[in-house]
Structure 1
Amino acid sequence: MTISNPVLTGFYADPSMIRVGDTYYIANSTFEWWPGVTLHQSKDLANWQPVASPLNSITKLDMKGNPSSGGIWAPDLSYADGLFWLIYTDVKVVNGAFKDCTNYLITAPSIEGPWSDPYRLDGVGFDASLFHDDDGRKYLVQQTWDYREWHHPFNGITLTELNTETMKLMPETARRIWAGTAVKVTEGPHIYKKDGYYYLFAAEGGTMWEHQESVARSRTLDADSFEVMPNNPFIGNYVTPESYLQKQGHGALVDTPSGEWYYASLTGRPLHDATEPVHGTRGWCPLGRETSIQKVEWDEDGWPYVVGGPAGQRYVPEPVDAIATEPEQHNIEDDFTSTELEIGWNTLRVPFDETMGTVGDGALTLYGQGSLCNLFELSLVARRWRAFQFTATTCVEFNPSTYMQMAGLTNYYADMFWSWAYISWDEERQTRVIDVAQNDRNVYTTFLRENAVAIPEDVTKVWLRSKTDGITYRYEYSFDGEDWQPLGPALDSRKLSDEYVQQTYGGFFTGAFVGMAAVDLAGYRTPARFTEFSYIEDAAE
């Protein structure tokens, strides 16, 4: 039996993995997407089932107005004293010298909850984790952000003791325990204790192709006491541009009940244009940063290493004590009979509520709010791209009375980077029409314009679908759900990737989504009724 990487496909970055008994859990970053923090569980490390998010109310997370790629950065899941502990960061600024953020802590007796109200900890830096020492003391370990323009912004790893009676940090105990290596951009720290050593695992090199994981260790938790592993990086793909997995780093270590070791890492799988050099451009990852798992062993000097080398492997042996787990089903057909959105659906910054719409009785009704550029009021419900080749289909009933009212199917990365096929109103022809538009770095382009497809007056339902085939995707429409017609040009999926966004914007950490949206710039909250949605991956992939 083998683990086939990545184990969590699509945008599942910054994995924090733990084991409790015979069950493994992974928590991932969600950034501006709601609900905050995704959870999965497994008993074999190969197949993972989703668990309801712990951040399910505004009291635990309020991201209204957060910039794209702000919000939840690198959560940390741990287990001690009969409780699950979750540290998460809410980042409010992503561009420029400052990274205003707040770190929070919540606990629960079970992975399903109930989770406590959050304890506010600090804002020293992001990517915080909680280390439970064997003497009962607990420490927050975090990246340290330095806004001063004459300093490097990543100022090493800070450790601060947590008072578990008050659930407050003791700032007088704060000290920098490791400055990082010359690779720089030291973040994502986790501490593990083994054979009398404190092992510090930390990501370095940034989130793109230079990304890696470095290791250091110390006999104490004193300031600047950690020595660097001589054969770093522990994992990384900077020197292996042709590897199937790229960007590996930023993750978490776990042992199995039988004493084996595994490491969960973020990774990326780049697409390549035929005209681009693999060793130069390196490619584009519209699926975002995913999660892989590698086998780990320890050398005679007590340092960890990835089996097969620091580039990692696509296929990895399962643990000898693995218990078979059912795989997660990516393909879905939702007819919206449930009165709650199922796990896998996401909104932006705030939870789905009556302001945004309603669900149940065979329809998802979205009330038109702001444009898809809006950071405060937006009616959008979407799912991650989980594969390079898939078809997403929806059926919508929508009766606009002005061009300011729109509803349809969107492929979305962030407020400045998205496209959609949508229904609106053509005041010249006095008819409903279907058009395609793209927002590319906030340059908005409508493709059909006066040639937008007119919808016959007797048509009440319009089917829209998106067919994604690697480097390109395109939209189609139908008036009966069977006879499909092309709609607009082929679009470039690279424009929905971290690699494209990072060229002009400081937040480039998520991935592509596909879903339904309704807009009413006139302010009348015109409803759009979506009666079905399907996401089907190409079986050949």
Structure 2
Amino acid sequence: MTALIRNPILPGFNPDPSICRVGEDYYIATSTFEWYPGVQIHHSRDLVNWRLVRRPLERASQLDMRGNPDSCGVWAPCLSYDDGLFFLVYTDVKRFDGNFKDAHNYIVTAEAIEAVWSDPVYVNSSGFDPSLFHDDDGRKWFLNMQWNHRSESFGGSPKHPAFDGILLQQWDERKRRLTGPVKNIFAGSPLGLVEGPHLFKRNGWYYLTTAEGGTGYDHAVTMARSRTIDGPYEMHPDTYLITSKDHPDAPLQRAGHGQYVETPDGQAYHTHLCGRPLPPQRRCTLGRETALQKCVWRDDGWLYLENGGPVPEITVAAPGAARALSSPRVVETDFDETALPSEFQWLRTPLPERIFSLERRAGHLRLFGRESIGSWFEQALVARRQEHHSFRAETSVEFAPGTYQQVAGLAHYYNRHKFHALSLTWHETLGRALTILSCPGDFPHGRLQFPIGSGIAVPTGPIELAMEVRDNDLQFFWRADGEMEWQAIGPVLDAGVVSDEGGRGEHGSFTGAFAGMFAFDTSGGGLPADFGRFRYVSLSEGGARL
């Protein structure tokens, strides 16, 4: 029986997949934007089952995103391998709104994926989405899109003139710098917004794939080829290798931005990002995910999807025998280790000891209240990706606030404009209280709403918090330590706003939804909150309410 790859292979926020094969091992690197550590690398040996094995940008010398706006940070990494060394190329984007991007490109290396990666080598800042191509003559070539600030393009409203073609320049690995002339080799198709370049070589042709159409519903993988690396490049007969832009009913939407890979026996596959929108507003609450499509080479020397058209499929044939391993429906975390479990990340700062500790109190994650839940600098929020359209998350918190400026709790979080948070705090008449802080997409102000006003008084001791997200709906729950019954608190909230399309809409942001624990103390006192557990439960496969 033919093994099947089921898409998305990396569910939840995992965009811009760069794939690399070394022997029998496949690796995919995806963007992490403002989430720390930077870049997710997953591993597989069969293209069916994938496991997170590394986030290589893990220290201040490699990445410091304090102050980076929402949806900035690490964009579109490229992972490659040559002569015993892995290369990771990435951008750190410092600006989103306005005409400028301030996108700085770097290279880090390692002899093994799970090793400690080098300090970065700065390359250039002419645009984002860099990649590194290792030619068969030993030369290395650096590519990135060129950003033109002299246009009407700005954050949330991309315009084609700002995406000023794909630049190519030789990389001198010995001198660790670009060398020789820089050439604009590809202007893209009429669809526009050309970015995400990747080169590979086959039968004497240089093949270039790019992302076009923006990362919304017009997204596409465009393909071109040339006999010489610097062009001119001729367009694919169908222009687009992968796209859903003219097929609004396809289950995988927003298909684009990926990379080609071959199996050891020459079978062809191509990664791409995608989104799975929920009705009625077509909001992708899981963000941009990673999918993989089976391809074929035809006699004309061009690559096509095996299904014959450009529209990606949910299931495709795997290269060999494989059995899909089921993901656990329930993931329990008791914080008994001294390292943060791999599914969790935090925001921006390379100094995690300032915002959390697993050693200050055994069996607990201690968050130190720092800046607000909307901060771009030092925010104590530790969270994991939402990987299912319907899920439940639970935690237990011990927290003794003495002012309303001290808050800790459980959040469904996208960015400073899009979140819902069940919050334990202090109130002048209620004493210790539970309330809800909500920011349902209010851009650019980020104004809070308080769905239950001042909230309800709660007893001393640990408090358990929970939320259930069912597609577009979110309900919070709570109970005091030792009680059996969960109590609903507040109205059903719009979970769909915690999505790429929520708030300012398509292209306004493009990361993903997280569920996690937070604490802030805007008094400056750094009051800690201790979280004793975190539980994530998939409800998307017909799971009953808990």
| Equivalent residues of 1:42, 1:325 under 8 A apart | no
Q: Post-superposition shift, 1:482?
A: 2.7
Match of 1:455 in 2: 458
Structural mapping, 1:26-425, within 5 Å: 26-149=28-151, 152-170=161-179, 172-222=180-230, 224-273=231-280, 283-308=282-307, 309-320=309-320, 329=328, 331-351=330-350, 353-360=352-359, 361-425=362-426
Q: Post-superposition shift, 1:351?
A: 3.8
Q: How big is each residue's C-alpha offset from its partner over 1:232-279, in whole Å with a ceiling of 9 and x where there is no partner? A: 211000111111111111001100011101111100000002xxxxxx
Between the aligned partners of 2:202 and 2:313, the Cα distance in structure 1 is 25
Q: Which runs of 5+ in 1 are unaligned?
A: 274-280
Letter matched to residue 178 of structure 2: L
Change (3 A) 1:179 1:481: farther
SS in 1 for 2:239: coil
Q: Which runs of 5+ in 2 are unaligned?
A: 153-159
SS in 2 for 1:152: helix
Letter matched to residue 242 of structure 1: D
| Equivalent residues of 1:398, 1:423 under 8 A apart | yes
Between the aligned partners of 1:414 and 1:288, the Cα distance in structure 2 is 12
Q: Post-superposition shift, 1:52?
A: 1.9
Q: Post-superposition shift, 1:326?
A: 5.1
Between the aligned partners of 1:463 and 1:57, the Cα distance in structure 2 is 33
Change (3 A) 1:330 1:35: farther
Letter matched to residue 28 of structure 1: T
Judge which range, 176-185 or 144-153, deviates more.
144-153
Letter matched to residue 84 of structure 1: F
Match of 2:496 in 1: 494
| Equivalent residues of 1:463, 1:481 under 8 A apart | no
Letter matched to residue 354 of structure 1: E
Q: Post-superposition shift, 1:286?
A: 1.1
Q: How big is each residue's C-alpha offset from its partner over 1:394-425, in whole Å with a ceiling of 9 and x where there is no partner? A: 00001101111110000110112111001111
Q: Post-superposition shift, 1:331?
A: 3.5
Change (3 A) 1:501 1:28: farther
| Equivalent residues of 2:48, 2:322 under 8 A apart | no
Match of 2:157 in 1: none
SS in 2 for 1:181: coil
SS in 1 for 2:215: coil
Q: How big is each residue's C-alpha offset from its partner over 1:494-532, in whole Å with a ceiling of 9 and x where there is no partner? A: 21111124439x651101001000011111111111001
Change (3 A) 1:344 1:227: same
SS in 1 for 2:335: coil
| Equivalent residues of 2:287, 2:511 under 8 A apart | yes
SS in 2 for 1:230: strand
| Equivalent residues of 2:64, 2:350 under 8 A apart | no
Q: How big is each residue's C-alpha offset from its partner over 1:120-154, in whole Å with a ceiling of 9 and x where there is no partner? A: 00001100000000000001111111111278000
| Equivalent residues of 2:389, 2:540 under 8 A apart | no
Between the aligned partners of 1:439 and 1:313, the Cα distance in structure 2 is 35
Q: How big is each residue's C-alpha offset from its partner over 1:304-332, in whole Å with a ceiling of 9 and x where there is no partner? A: 00111211111111102x56675655742
Between the aligned partners of 2:539 and 2:109, the Cα distance in structure 1 is 40
| Equivalent residues of 2:146, 2:164 under 8 A apart | yes
Between the aligned partners of 1:233 and 1:493, the Cα distance in structure 2 is 34
Q: Post-superposition shift, 1:464?
A: 0.3
Change (3 A) 1:126 1:69: same
| Equivalent residues of 1:330, 1:386 under 8 A apart | no
Structural mapping, 1:436-475, within 5 Å: 436-440=436-440, 441=442, 442-450=446-454, 452-456=455-459, 459-475=460-476
| Equivalent residues of 2:388, 2:540 under 8 A apart | no
Q: Post-superposition shift, 1:353?
A: 2.6
Change (3 A) 1:288 1:469: same
Between the aligned partners of 2:254 and 2:375, the Cα distance in structure 1 is 31
Q: Post-superposition shift, 1:428?
A: 2.0
Between the aligned partners of 2:527 and 2:326, the Cα distance in structure 1 is 39
Q: Post-superposition shift, 1:354?
A: 2.4
Q: Post-superposition shift, 1:67?
A: 0.4
| Equivalent residues of 2:357, 2:366 under 8 A apart | yes
SS in 2 for 1:494: helix
| Equivalent residues of 1:47, 1:327 under 8 A apart | no
The number of equivalent residue pairs is: 525
Q: How big is each residue's C-alpha offset from its partner over 1:28-58, in whole Å with a ceiling of 9 and x where there is no partner? A: 0000000100010001111101112111111
Aligned-pair identity in percent equals 42
Change (3 A) 1:295 1:453: same
Letter matched to residue 257 of structure 1: P
| Equivalent residues of 1:49, 1:326 under 8 A apart | no
Change (3 A) 1:291 1:424: same
Q: How big is each residue's C-alpha offset from its partner over 1:443-488, in whole Å with a ceiling of 9 and x where there is no partner? A: 21111124x12112xx301000010100111110011363100111
Match of 1:276 in 2: none
Q: Post-superposition shift, 1:370?
A: 1.0
TM-score (norm 1): 0.95
TM-score (norm 2): 0.94
Q: Post-superposition shift, 1:383?
A: 0.5
Letter matched to residue 266 of structure 1: L
| Equivalent residues of 2:20, 2:28 under 8 A apart | yes
Between the aligned partners of 1:173 and 1:77, the Cα distance in structure 2 is 24
Between the aligned partners of 2:127 and 2:302, the Cα distance in structure 1 is 28
